[in-house]
Amino acid sequence: GRLRSGAVAKLKRWRKGHSSDCNPETRQHRLAARSRFCSRPAEKSNLTVDAVKLHNELQSGSLRLERPNDSAQLRMEEDSAGEAATERSSGTFLSGLSDCTNVTFSKVQRFWESNSAAHKEICAVLAAVTEVIRSRGGKESETEYFAALMTTLEAVESPESLAAVAYLLNLVLKRVPSPVLIKKFSDASKAFMGIVSSQACSSSTSALRWVLSCLATLLRKQDLAAWSYPVTLQVYHGLLSFCVHTKPKVRKAAQYGVCSVLRGSEFMFGDAAPEHHPAAPSTAKFCVQEIEKAGGTKEATTTLHILALLRDLLPCFPAAVVKTCCETLLRVMTLSHVLVTACAMQAFHSLFSAQASVACLPAELNAQIITALYDYVPSTSDLQPLLTWLSTMERAHINLGRLQKDLCWAHLPRLFSAAVNCFLSPHSQVVAAAAQTLETLLSECVASHMDDLGTVSASAPAPAAYLCKMFRSVEEGLTYRFHAAWDEVLRVLEVFFETCGKQCHPIMRKCLRSLCDLRLSPHFPYTTEVDQAVGAAVSAMGPEVLLEAVPLEIDGKEETLDFPRSWLLPVLRDYVQGARLSFFTSYFLPLAAALKSRALEFTQAGKSVEAKIYDTLQWQVWTLLPGFCTHPTDLLGAFKGLARTLGMAISERPDLRPTVCQALRTLIHKGCETDAERAEVGRFAKNFLPILFNVYSQPEEDGGSSAQRRSVLDTVRAYLTITDPQMVCGFLQKASEKLTSPESSEFARLSILDLVVAMAPYADEQSLGSLYHTIQPSLQSKECSMQKKAYRVLEEVCAAPHAPCQAFVRSHLQDLQAALLDSLKSAASPAKRPRLKCLCHIVKQLSAEHEPFITALVPEVILCTKEVSVGARKNAFVLLVEMGHAFIRFGPTPQEAMQRFLLLVYAGLTGSVTMISCTVLALTRLFFEFKDHLELSVVEQLLQNICLLLASRTRDVVKAALGFLKVTLLLVDTKVLAKHIQAMLEAVGNLSDDMRRHFRMKLRNLFTKFIRKFGFELVKGLLPAEYHKVLVNIRKAEARSRKQRALRQAAADTDEEAPPAQPRGDSMEEILADSEDEEEEEEERQRSKEWRKQARQKGQAWLKEGEEDEPLNFLDPNVSQRVLATEPGPKRSRGVSHDFQVSEDGRLIIHEEEEEVDNDEAKGADEEMADVLQDVGLRSKKSQKRRFREEPDDEEREAGTYPQYRAGGSGIHRQLDKEPAFGAEYRSKKGKGDVKKKGQLDPYAYIPLNRARLNRRKRAKMQGQFKGLMKGAQRGAKAGRRNRQKAQRP
């Protein structure tokens, strides 16, 4: 890693020429190497031709993994034990491993090339055992391996072999059938226990830990009856005794085994499974005895080990034993040992988190533990213990609520009080954790039972009384002593309002008033949190309850214009839902009318400011209406009383029109949930729709802005969804009459056509027929707008999913085809988009006999791929693809159909230049979409034709052809492309100089793709010399990009946090980790020393003295809170932290900002696909335009104010918005010098920091400037003094 800042200066450095002064005198390794390589061996060399041949075979891998059929030839010959292995057999001594057929040993087989000695020993043992089983005609089953390994276990003597056999037994025991292990339990356990007793004091732990694992697996496979025998319990207790072993790996193996036996024994998952394991009581007794024996001595190491075991085992014990263990834990916590207390808390946490059954943890015992834990509340300044205590109590109450709700609610008030006291902690983590605990308890323990309660009052009996106490505790957090944690208190109140506000609003009104008063206090920093809390109250209780508790205090008769509660209006607007619509009618409508009349009075009196204020207030009142229309509770009875007012507001109040229209849309989409509600609102369609039609048909001066007209049209569309179809037909007929009326203006006809577009999908077939005859002449109208809207009507009819519309399209298919073909020549450019969309819907319904219609459309569709309108281009490509699908539908085969369709498209290549470029674009899209349906010969022919078009002198044609080549490189297989790469690159290489300059970026992109696909040398050889410089540059850029990506990846890998420790398993990594036993034991001893040192540091505790002179009372029941895990007292500040480095002489080192360099990263598949879609017209270039328009400053400009030109240079091109000179704001306009300005700094010579002033050569010049500055100031002061003296003389 890198050295710390400043460490370089402290390192010792060699003087020049003295770097080898301290070379060692002993050179035994050098001499040995020299004697080996520079002298001839004394004895006969083993380096023969056969040995070299064998070495080469081993290096090439031919003898590495043998096939099963060759294993007979390559097996190791069983000669005498003392005979050395020959060269040939040395490479094949693991043949029994390499072709082992049992999947149990796949882990070993997968890693058998390791250089670890322990690993090689495991592989050798497995190979030997496999050979023995095969020599006796075995099938290599798990049972055979078990028997052979058990025999081997009794025969081996060395610790390495013993560890290898134990590891293999550990693997195979898990797959041996249970009846075998039950029958052989006595012999196997005796053998295992013998090894355990012999290895218990050994320095090597590998064999011991694997044998313990074997014991655990053996015990886990026994049936319930076996646990009634004393020998089984004796073996289990032998395993259990190693849970406090001094060696960590042995201890962990034993603890893991005990947990697997108690929690994972096979009979625990059967139908007749007992409630707990038979060995659970004795295990608990052992744990309690070990804790009592160890106590707090020896730094409580044994106690910590047992507590770690209990953390996993407590949920497995029966209730009586759990009670004893918990009492022991509580007694141990009185020792005030920080680590012991933390581990005990973790054990309680795991007990509650496990959600054990009543047989393990009854509700009464859970409640008793909760009560007992209050004696161990840490101090509010003790960070980690308090976080642990809060988390444990949270899980305890959640588990108690699961077992017995009433008992949980009885204990919640005390915890709420304790958690609120945690808000006084100086640690922000404790405050946040306390708030999170309260929120979790409300959502987990309280929310699910609130529906069972009625309205809660202050005098309500239990369990409602508990809820009152809880709320009072949280409400107390609004007092001033908790002001540092008010933001968290407000968030808890917000959750309380959401959870219980509907039933508990009587007891919450005082709190609501306090919140509103608190918000009005000067400089209150948490206004947003108050708004959110009050908003939650509005959502849960409703606006009526809120306004009863906190009146709005606005009635239109105010003498002053303060309006202290006006902030409630935006809160109500954002949070009202599910309220009574009649409340808006009875309370807010009269208020809005009074405010509006008051505004009119002020307007008539000429008081424009007051009039504006009241007008804004009445508008804010109206903005509440959409919230009241969201899921109203009394829609059926209240809407009829409000409908007339809404209609009048739409027609007579343009300022309220958007709000009322939004309210109607909200009511239709979110308020009409039943058929009766939809019918009730739809009943007024005959009143609302004519009003909306009239408003929309008015010119913009009367009908409002274009945004208001869009809002009205959206409301019409929404209302039509719940309107009776017969009424829609009536409106449609009247609209058709107005369309043909000569009295209608052009604006009125266009507006009526917009309304017809909205109504057409909901009309019946007869009305659609008459409408079609009405708009048919408009399809060939010379007025572009009329023509476009007529096509929009047809588009809506063809796209509508309703049955009448689909029936109309089917019955008028021939007429529609004829009309669309007749209007082909007269179709205006703005009408292309809806026309193509309409054609797309019609083509979907065509059959084989309509193929001539599609044939006639092909030229128009191809030309539309270059329309000005983005929507028209997009629809043209969609229609082109739809026509391809239609041809495939016509048959006979997809390949023949596509060939027939492409012949129609090919005709465009013989047309004008524009037609040719459009045809190439169309072919590109068709090739992209239907590549799987095109034969190879068709693709090759297409590629040849495109290469010919690259010789064109027209830029549009060449651009389209290059786009096709890009798509080809992405889609076509490399083997197919290899045949044509020469023709493609020759065609690209023969481009004229003008084309090459114009398309230099496209060509560079294309060459990059060629190089990635075929390599640099091939592409360079096929292109002319003038391209070679570009190709070399591309290669350098690609190499640089790859290097930068590798560096970023490496940096990302090093920055990642180390992965969490995995649970103990049987992977090969563990075998490798156990390879060097002696070195490992030494390292383990070092680690244990370090761990004990850290534990001593962690285990240190501090005793907090009494306040002022008060002595510490050790008989106080709360004295445990005086034992701190965090050192008390003020922490020393680490100095001011800034982001600047400091040099040796104390100067700040300020690096200038460097612009980030955009790396030319290799585009991934997604980016290439995006390029392709852009070339075939499916991706707009708005993002590019937006990138050119972006301003360098951070302030967002309003829409339409982006400058297209930036000033620069001189003359009329000079930059007008120059920055003012330094200090110009202080310059006097009347005379020389500076003047003081009110509210600004005094005009002293504030010298800006400049890096150039650190330059030694310029230092003297700078000092001279400062001296002159001081002399000038002194001269000015003298002159001022003389002038004052003259003025004071008589």
Instruction: Compute the average pLDDT of residues 182-201.
Output: 87
Is 376 a residue whose pLDDT tops 80? yes
Using CA atoms, how far residue 381 sits from 391, 426, 864, 976, 986, in Å, is 16, 6, 74, 74, 79
Query: Given a cut of 90, is residue 1277 above it in pLDDT?
Result: no
855 contacts 904 by C-beta, under 8 angstroms: yes
pLDDT, tens digit (0-9, with 9 covering 90-100), for 836-865: 888 888 888 888 888 888 888 888 888 888
The alpha carbon of 1010 is separated from its chain's Cα centroid by a whole number of angstroms, namely 37
Give residue-wise pLDDT tens across range 824-837: 777 888 888 888 88
Rounded Cα gap, residues 767 and 804, in angstroms: 10
pLDDT for 1092 equals 53
pLDDT at residue 484 in the model: 92
Q: Report the DSSP beta bridge partners of residue 1148.
A: 1142
Give pLDDT, residue 1286.
Answer: 79
CB 343 within 8 A of CB 1099: no
**Bond before 461 cis per omega within 30 degrees:** no
- Residue 105 CA to residue 658 CA, distance in Å, equals 74
- Name which of 153-157, 350-354, 403-407, 466-470 the model is least confident about: 153-157
pLDDT at 46: 52
CA distances from 860 to 836, 888, 919 (A): 9, 21, 11
Let me know: does 553 contact 593? Beta carbons within 8 Å. no
Tokens 């499974």 belong to residue: 273
Query: What was the pLDDT predicted at 560?
Result: 82
Q: Is 1036 exposed, middle or buried (0-12, 13-18, 19+ CB in 10 A)?
A: exposed
Whether the Cβ atoms of residue 491 and residue 539 lie closer than 8 Å to each other: no
Lowest mean pLDDT among 294-303, 612-621, 633-642, 748-757: 294-303
Helix 248-264 × helix 1077-1099 angle, to 10°: 80
pLDDT greater than 60 at residue 1077:
no
pLDDT of residue 1112: 59
Of 1258 and 293, the one with more pLDDT: 293
User: 980: which residues sit within 8 A by CB, 6+ positions away?
Assistant: 940, 943, 944, 947
Q: How confident is the model at residue 1129 (pLDDT cuts 50, 70, 90)?
A: low
Position 213 pLDDT exceeds 70: yes
Tell me the whole-structure pTM to 2 decimals: 0.69
| Residues 969-1012: tens digit of each pLDDT | 888 888 888 888 888 888 888 888 888 899 889 898 889 988 88
CA distance 1087 to 1090: 5
- The alpha-helical segments, DSSP class H, found in 607-684 are 608-622, 625-628, 635-652, 657-666, 675-682
Q: Virtual CA dihedral for 281, 287, 293, 297, nearest 10 degrees?
A: -160
Distances (CA, A) of 858 to 142, 643, 809: 72, 53, 22
SS3 content of the chain, % helix, strand, coil (to 5): 70, 0, 30
Quick one: pLDDT at residue 1037?
92
User: What's the average model confidence in pLDDT over 1034-1045?
Assistant: 91
Side-chain half-sphere CA neighbours of 488 within 13 A: 25
Pick from 437, 445, 444, 448: which is nearest to 474 by CA? Answer: 437
